[in-house]
Amino acid sequence: MASFDLTVLGSSGGPADGKTCAFLLKPSGLTFDQILDGQMNDCLLCVDAGTGISGFCEILLLHLRNRLSQLQKDDIDILSYYKDSLEISDYTSIETVVPFGNPREEAVASMGVFEYASKLFNLISAYLITHSHIDHVSGLLVNSPAFSQPVITSNSPRPRRVSLTSSKKIYSIPSAIDNIQNHLYNDLVWPDLTAAHTGSSISLMKLEPEQLVQLNCWFGVETFVISHGIIPHEHKDEMFESSAYLITLKPPKDDGGASADSESSFPSKLLFFGDVESDSTSISPRNHRIWREVAPLVVSGQLRAVVIECSNYNLPKTVPLFGHMTPTHLISEFVTLAKECSLLSGAAYHPLDGLHVLITHVKETDSSCDPRKIILQQLRELNDSHDLRLNFTIALPGLTYKI
Ligand SMILES: [Zn+2]
Ligand SMILES: [Zn+2]
């Protein structure tokens, strides 16, 4: 099966700014240098965009300083915020890789760091946005001008923008696309760089729930609407919608040798949740349906990992969670998945044994104690007490996980 390389540009749940969730996906067989050299605009996918080009520049700088292959906790801001952070390896159960080719001097150092990052971001053909909250789109908004450039022609006194790429599609659920268009790219909060007259390469695309959509040559997606807190109204509160994406990685027929093994035509799957509340606390529980859908993929080994939030460590029940999860809630979701798998596989005693779970969106706290350390400890204790045998990893920016 083909593997995903998941590069974390940002993974914080705030309130630290500039570090929020964004993940770059590519096929493992291709390095960023190869993608840039070959101008391959059909094999990168960005899931959420709370952090953008600047997050990638930080990774490039670590690479140029030859630190990416031996990252220390001091290299990662969100770990150095706290006094008691663990070593990187303590947060990590998934194999990590350096996503650039060698020797490092050639491709990256031949141009400026920002130039390399901008050119690579111009090759991202598809963004998947889980929901319209600012911490998941701010990088995309600020980066948008880099996807086109202003020109002045002799017969046009006003500058207009020309597209640098053939097309960049921003995909999300219909409610999020409406929010992004009406409240962000509206010429008030931010210039409408999706408008045709700007020479834009950016298109906003609605994903209908539970339909399969091919995003580019390598990646396809199936979309699920999930619940993420409420929008208070005077008469009747409304659920705020987020989404989960079941992402398929399948090599195109001619993949230029990126897939090395004969089984690579068998698609790999990654289940990616945006911000989400637990069915156990939701007035509109929508997660169980997803677990039922992916249970056969868990049993067959096709599901490589679940990427999901755990924003806070366990808190007293009276503390509002604003549509997020704690370790107790997250484990209750995986208990549901285990039951669905057992219904299918009958005798399988530990159906989730070895399944990778990548934790995102941990909220920073004004304490000396690292919330990631506490969350990981609580998840591992609950994992043991329920005998689920999941492999937990806390997503850290700067790292590339091979999934
Ligand atoms: Zn949110
Ligand atoms: Zn968020």
Letter string b/e over residues 212-230, b meaning 16 or more CB atoms within 10 A of that residue's CB: ebebbbbbbbbbbbbbbbb
Please state which of the ranges 80-84, 98-102, 108-112, 162-166 shows the lowest mean pLDDT.
162-166
Ligand nearest to the CA of 136: 2
Average pLDDT for residues 10-21, to the nearest whole number? 96
How many whole angstroms from 324 Cα to the centroid of ligand 1?
8
Average pLDDT for residues 145-172, to the nearest whole number? 66
Q: What is the pLDDT, as a whole number, of residue 291?
A: 98
Q: What is the pLDDT, as a whole number, of residue 159?
A: 55
Domain residue ranges in the chain: 4-402
How many whole angstroms from 93 Cα to the centroid of ligand 1?
26
Q: Do 155 and 141 meet the contact criterion of CB atoms below 8 Å apart?
A: no
Please state which of the ranges 126-135, 140-149, 248-257, 393-402 shows the lowest mean pLDDT.
248-257
Average pLDDT for residues 15-41, to the nearest whole number? 95
CA nearest 139: which of 21, 316, 292, 41? 21
- What does the DSSP assignment read for 59-102? HHHHHHTT-GGG--GGGSHHHHTSSS---GGGG--S-EE--S-S
Q: What is the pLDDT, as a whole number, of residue 197?
A: 78
Letter string b/e over residues 274-293, b meaning 16 or more CB atoms within 10 A of that residue's CB: bbbbbbebbeeebbeebbbb
How many whole angstroms from 275 Cα to the centroid of ligand 1?
5
* CA dist list (Å): 148 to 45, 115, 201, 271: 19, 14, 7, 32
Q: What is the pLDDT, as a whole number, of residue 150?
A: 54
Ligand nearest to the CA of 51: 2
Top-ranked range on mean pLDDT: pick from 62-71, 229-238, 242-251, 254-263: 242-251
Contact residues for 233 (Cβ-Cβ < 8 A; gap 6+): none
Ligand nearest to the CA of 133: 1
Pick 43 or 153 by higher pLDDT. Answer: 43
Ligand nearest to the CA of 19: 2
Is a pLDDT exceeding 90 seen at residue 14?
yes
Residue type, 197: H
Query: Helix, strand or coil for residue 208?
Result: coil
Is a pLDDT exceeding 70 seen at residue 131?
yes
Per-residue model confidence as pLDDT tens digits over 46-78 = 999 999 999 999 999 999 888 898 999 999 999
How many whole angstroms from 272 Cα to the centroid of ligand 2?
14
Q: Do 125 and 44 meet the contact criterion of CB atoms below 8 Å apart?
A: yes
Is a pLDDT exceeding 50 seen at residue 263?
no
Is a pLDDT exceeding 90 seen at residue 326?
yes
Q: Which two tokens stand for residue 77?
A: 């801001």
Binned at pLDDT 50, 70 and 90, residue 177 comes out as very high
How many whole angstroms from 33 Cα to the centroid of ligand 1?
33
Per-residue model confidence as pLDDT tens digits over 199-210 = 778 999 999 998
The 8-class DSSP code of residue 356 comes to E
Average pLDDT for residues 369-390, to the nearest whole number? 98
How many whole angstroms from 274 Cα to the centroid of ligand 2?
8
Q: What is the pLDDT, as a whole number, of residue 216?
A: 92
Ligand nearest to the CA of 228: 1
Per-residue model confidence as pLDDT tens digits over 311-324 = 999 999 899 999 99
Please state which of the ranges 89-93, 139-143, 167-171, 370-374 shows the lowest mean pLDDT.
167-171
Q: How far is CA 256 from the centre of its chain?
A: 26
Is the previous residue joined to 103 through a cis bond, with omega within 30 degrees of 0? yes
Contact residues for 103 (Cβ-Cβ < 8 A; gap 6+): none
Please determine, looking at this structure, whether the domain spanning 4-402 carries the CATH number 3.60.15.10: yes
How many whole angstroms from 246 Cα to the centroid of ligand 1?
19
Binned at pLDDT 50, 70 and 90, residue 398 comes out as very high
What distance in Å separates the CA atoms of residue 380 and residue 388, rounded to the nearest whole number? 10
How many whole angstroms from 7 Cα to the centroid of ligand 1?
21
How many whole angstroms from 13 Cα to the centroid of ligand 2?
5
Ligand nearest to the CA of 48: 2
How many whole angstroms from 131 Cα to the centroid of ligand 2?
8
Mean predicted lDDT score pLDDT of the chain: 91
Q: Do 61 and 113 meet the contact criterion of CB atoms below 8 Å apart?
A: yes
Ligand nearest to the CA of 322: 1
The alpha carbon torsion through 19, 99, 45, 334 (nearest 10 deg) reads -70
CA nearest 27: which of 243, 211, 212, 260? 260
How many whole angstroms from 14 Cα to the centroid of ligand 1?
10
How many whole angstroms from 78 Cα to the centroid of ligand 2?
16
How many whole angstroms from 325 Cα to the centroid of ligand 2?
11
Average pLDDT for residues 268-283, to the nearest whole number? 96
Q: Which two tokens stand for residue 68?
A: 């990416």
Please state which of the ranges 204-213, 260-269, 302-311 shows the lowest mean pLDDT.
260-269
Tokens 């390469």 found at: 201
Q: What is the pLDDT, as a whole number, of residue 262?
A: 45
How many whole angstroms from 228 Cα to the centroid of ligand 1?
7
Q: Which two tokens stand for residue 191?
A: 């210039």
Average pLDDT for residues 219-223, to the nearest whole number? 97
Which pTM value belongs to this model?
0.93
